[in-house]
Amino acid sequence: MDVAISAALIATVCSTITSIAINLWITNSSAKKSLDDQLDAILKIAIEYPYLESERFTNSWISAFDRNDEKYLRYDVYCTLLFNYLSRVASHYKYKKDKIEAYITIKDWTRLHAKYWNDPTVDYENIDSYDKQFTDLVNAYLK
């Protein structure tokens, strides 16, 4: 094989590997930025409505709440938003507890909102809405 062809082949392989690595890094960085932005949005809601993160309030949850009660309506939507977010985080970190826990306090959040998780407004909503790996992860924290 000619030296010039070998050099061109090596340069092409190196360039391809570098491009793949850079694309993976950019994709991962974009996904992480998106998770950070979603976390900020959830925290802003919790700041605006602090009872949503109050143990006294969350322990009063019952799925058969008065549908005219704005606090419980908001809490229902907030928990859906929160668990959707936690599911995305878990998926992003490939359900590796150590990586998830290094990023957010998932144990604290799932335990604070355990009554909602165990008593959703629609029967089987949490089991049917999330993948098995995520439901297993949440249920492991609640044992």
AA identity, residue 27: T
Does a structural domain hold residue 53?
yes
Kindly state whether residue 22 falls inside one of the protein's structural domains.
Answer: no
State the Cα–Cα distance between residues 3 and 115, nearest whole angstrom: 69
Residue 40 domain flag = yes
Digitized pLDDT (tens) for each residue of the chain, 143 residues in all: 577 777 777 777 777 777 676 766 666 667 788 999 999 999 999 999 999 999 999 999 999 888 889 999 999 999 999 999 999 999 999 999 999 999 999 999 999 999 999 999 988 888 889 999 999 999 999 99
Domain count, the chain: 1
Determine the Cα–Cα distance for residues 140 and 127; give it in Å rounded to an integer: 14
Domain with 93, as residue range(s), is 30-141
Helix extents (H) in the chain: 3-48, 55-58, 70-92, 97-103, 106-112, 114-118, 125-129, 132-141
Q: Are 26 and 34 in contact (CB under 8 A)?
A: no
Quick check: is 8 in a domain? no
Tell whether 51 is covered by a domain. Answer: yes
